[in-house]
Structure 1
C-alpha cells in the first residue's frame, strides 16, 4: 500500500490524476475509483457492519422488509441488485460501500465536515481494473462478453439472482465495483459507484490490506483543508450540486457561511 501525504492543491490533483492516461485509446481514462473521508483514521466499514451485533444474519431481514414495505412505485424491477442500490441510496444498512469515479467529488467528501477540520482527511484510490482481474470466472466472462470494465445491476443479475448465489461464486473472498442505476440526480451528480464484497462479514479495508498493490491513500493534512474546500466551492463542487434539493442547499449554505476559526476536535465516536 502506498500512502502519500500531499502538501498543496497542485500536488493533490497530480496524485489523483496519476496513471490516468490510457495509451490504448489515447485518452485520459482513470482506472481508479475514489472515496473521500474526513478523518484519515476512519476504517472502510459498511453501514451493515456499523449496525453491530449479528449484522451478517440481519442482512436478509433488512432487505426483505425493505422490499416488503417500499412504496409501490419502486417495484418496477425485482432484482436484488436494484433493491440493494436503492436501499443504500436511502440509508438502509447494506454491505455496499459508496465510491465515486470523480476525484473532485472525493475531495468534497474529505472536506465537507467542518467539525473534522482539525484532523487529516484521506482519499482512497483503488484500481478497479486490477480488482476485477481477481474475479471468479463467471464474472470475468460477463465483463468480457459486455466489453465492460465495471458492472451494471443487469450484468450482476445475469450471474447471480440472489446474494447467496453471489457469495458462492468463488471459494475465496472477492470484491467488485458496479455503477448503480440512475435513481435520481444525486446518483448522477456524484458519479457514483458501489463496492460489494462476496460476504456480508468481509471488510473491504481488510481485503485491500491483503492486496496492497491495488490501492493507495492520499492523505490531506488538516492545514490544507480550507484551501481545498474554498477552491471546490468556487468550482461549484458543493452540497447544492451533489445533493439536489432543499436539504443539500441548506447544508451548503450552513457550511459556506460558517466562520473560519478554531474548530474543536470532535469526540472519538465513529461517524
Structure 2
C-alpha cells in the first residue's frame, strides 16, 4: 500500500451493515468535496487492486487487437450500433464479456457492495471508492482507445438497461499498472472491508432495499438468477423469507 499512500490520500475502513457503508460514503464524500464525482467498485477479494480485464487476463497485445477487430467486424450482424466510434465498440464488447481496456465502475455504493459480496469467495471483500479522474484539466479522450497513455474516465452510452440500472461508468487503462499509480496527491481512495462472514447478510440487506440481481440485470436472465438465489438454503440462516 506504500504506492497508494505516496500518490493519493488513502484510507481503509470497515462496515458490518449497509447502513454503515452509506454513512462511511456520506462522510467521506462531504470531506472530499461534494462536487467531486466518485468512482466506486466492488471486489470479491480484498487484496486485489482494480485493473482492466485485458490486463487482468494477461491477453497479449496482438491478441487484444485481433479479438477487438473481429468483434467490430461482426457487430452489424447482431446490432445497429455505430461501429465507427471505437469507444462505443469497446463499451459494447465490455458489456458482452470480452476483455477490454475498460473497467466497470458505478456511482452508487450499494451497487458496488452487491458486486463485492455476490458469488463464492473465501476472502474478505472490498468496496473501492476513488475521487479522481474528474479533473477539468484532463486532456480530451482520443478517438482511438489504443492511443491513451493515462487512465481516462469514460461515461458510456446507455447501450443496455443494465448500464442505467447499475449507474455505470468506465475507466480506460493504457496498461496493467495499479490504478493508484495514475492518481495524484489531490485525489483520494477509500477502501472499505466487508468480512467474508458477512457477505450473505449484506446481500440480504441489499435485497430488502431493492438492490439485487433482478434490479441490476433487468432482463429474464437477471430475474431467473435472482429467483435461484432466493431459494438458496444458506439464506435460511440469515432470516430471509422465501417466496
TM-score class normalised by the smaller sequence: 0.7 to 0.9
1:45 aligns to what?
A: 51
1:260 aligns to what?
A: 234
CA contact (8 A) 1:135 1:176 kept: no
Choose the corresponding residue for 1:133, options 132, 135, 140.
135
Deviation of 1:29 after TM superposition, in Å, equals 5.7
CA contact (8 A) 1:100 1:192 kept: yes
Deviation of 1:22 after TM superposition, in Å, equals 9.5
Choose the corresponding residue for 2:165, options 164, 189, 207.
189
Whether 1:97 aligns to 2:103 is yes
Deviation of 1:208 after TM superposition, in Å, equals 5.4
Structure 1, unmatched stretches of 5+, are 140-155, 168-173, 262-271
Change (3 A) 1:208 1:164: closer
Change (3 A) 1:19 1:41: closer
Whether 1:177 aligns to 2:153 is yes
2:87 aligns to what?
A: 81
CA contact (8 A) 2:51 2:176 kept: no
CA contact (8 A) 1:9 1:227 kept: no
Deviation of 1:97 after TM superposition, in Å, equals 0.5
Structure 2, unmatched stretches of 5+, are 1-9, 236-243
Choose the corresponding residue for 2:143, options 147, 157, 161.
161
Deviation of 1:98 after TM superposition, in Å, equals 0.5
Residue 194 of structure 1 aligns to a residue in which SS?
A: strand
Residue 148 of structure 2 aligns to a residue in which SS?
A: helix
1:148 aligns to what?
A: none
CA distance in 1, matches of 2:52, 2:99: 8
TM-score (norm 2): 0.81
Deviation of 1:202 after TM superposition, in Å, equals 3.3
- The alignment of Structure 1 onto Structure 2 pairs a total of residues equal to 227
TM-score (norm 1): 0.73
